Amino acid sequence: MTPPLTSPTETAVAPEYRAITRHLLHQPGHIHYTPTRITVTIDQPHAPRIARALNLLIDQINNTPPKLAGDPRKITYSTFQP
């Protein structure tokens, strides 16, 4: 169930944010494992607003890199323009 929104502006914009997020989760890419790190490279979307959203999300994620449970390697994200 979708959480309630607080203003008419949020109501109009929220579906677009959800669509962008859903699109980012389906973006193709590659995962590269080494003994010291894990790198996730995501193909850059063609749409400029989606590409910008992806880059902003990656900046936030890389600010505090995640790790897999039980694995000391940090996961770093980047984009690739094919």
Instruction: Give, for all 82 residues of the chain, the pLDDT tens digit.
Output: 545 545 455 555 566 667 766 766 778 889 899 999 999 999 998 889 888 988 998 999 899 988 888 999 999 999 988 7
The whole-angstrom separation of Cα 17 and Cα 67 is 26
Strand 38-43 versus strand 75-80 pairing type: parallel
Ranges of each domain in the chain? 8-80
| Contact (CB, 8 A) for 55 and 24 | no
According to the CATH classification, is domain 8-80 in 3.30.70? yes
User: Who's near 39: CB < 8 A, 6+ residues apart?
Assistant: 31, 32, 75, 76, 77, 78
* pTM tops 0.85: no
